[in-house]
Amino acid sequence: MTVRKNQAALTPEEKRAFTNALLELKRTGRYDRFVTTHNGFIMADTDSGDRVGHRSPSFLPWHRRFLLEFEAALQEVDANVTLPYWDWTADRTTRSSLWAADFLGGTGRARDGQVLDGPFAYATGKWNIGVRVDGRAYLRRALGQGVAELPTKAEVDAVLAMPVYDAAPWNSSSSGFRNNLEGWRGANLHNRVHVWVGGQMGTGVSPNDPVFWMHHAFVDKLWADWQARHPQSGYLPAAGTANVVDLHDTMRPWNDVTPADMLDHRKFYTFDTEPVAASQR
């Protein structure tokens, strides 16, 4: 069973294996296909039309499947690699270990946002941005510039306390847990982290920055934490809802998976905070 670990607990060897697997997916062109998929959905998902990956109830199961597919690709390169998660309520400064030169590299330079250190720096020649929103081929970040503070544990706990998964009109104006976690309402959790990182993370091509995967692995963990707190509160809507993915509807682009199939993460992996994960370490 795959165990997803907090990135702060990774050994130097685990960090190197993860970054090497990312670089290999990039070299073969597989990585950019994930960027293209994400960008296509974020551009197409609207509040008033068909919405699948964002601004909708299926935001969480869609990204769970998206991460599973990416993790499987990493494991084809190195079977021992799993997606780590970034707990941005704890590792919340530009000095956190994930931004070190031996892992993701740090913020971009003031002039153009270009990341200059770490394995994904443009100068290495191994991380050219191919799926772009502009003409720049280098990874960009502006840590803490677009918004000063990452979400706090207290803000996360308040969202985790919400008892209802989602509600009509099932978009970015909805009340409920999903929309507050996605960040269109309330404390602005998931969305705020994208803005805090800046650069490509603030655009539809956000997976160009490898931190995307660790951010979404933590968002996924928060969904699992919410499910554990509210076992009687399931995915909504159940059926017959226009423009969104109901519980047993298939999700594009896969068309072989429903939100119901994604409700139990333990079919696929556990987190290092769960008892079963601790016994397997």
Cα–Cα distances (Å) from 14 to 48, 199, 230, in that order, read 43, 26, 33
Q: How far apart are CA 118 and CA 111, in angstroms?
A: 19
Nearest Cα neighbor of 120 from 50, 200, 184, 189 is: 200
**Is there a contact between 211 and 98 (Cβ–Cβ < 8 Å)?**
yes
Angle between helices 59-77 and 30-44 (to 10 degrees): 170
Q: What span, in angstroms and rounded, lies between the C-alpha atoms of 30 and 147?
A: 32
Q: pLDDT digits over 68-116, tens only?
A: 999 999 999 999 999 999 999 999 999 999 999 999 999 999 999 999 9
Q: Which helix (H) or strand (E) holds 269?
A: strand 269-271
d(CA 136, CA 185): 32
State the pLDDT at residue 269: 97
**pTM of the model as a whole:** 0.96
Q: Could you read off the pLDDT tens digit of each residue along the chain, which spans 281 residues?
A: 799 999 999 999 999 999 999 999 999 999 999 999 999 999 999 999 999 999 999 999 999 999 999 999 999 999 999 999 999 999 999 999 999 999 999 999 999 999 999 999 999 999 999 999 999 999 999 999 999 999 999 999 999 999 999 999 999 999 999 999 999 999 999 999 999 999 999 999 999 999 999 999 999 999 999 999 999 999 999 999 999 999 999 999 999 999 999 999 999 999 999 976 444 44
Q: Which two tokens stand for residue 11?
A: 């050994």
Q: Domain locations in the chain?
A: 2-271
* Tens-place pLDDT, residues 161-192: 999 999 999 999 999 999 999 999 999 999 99
CATH superfamily name and code, 2-271: Di-copper center containing domain from catechol oxidase (1.10.1280.10)
Tokens of 254: 């896969």
What does DSSP assign to residue 273?
Answer: T
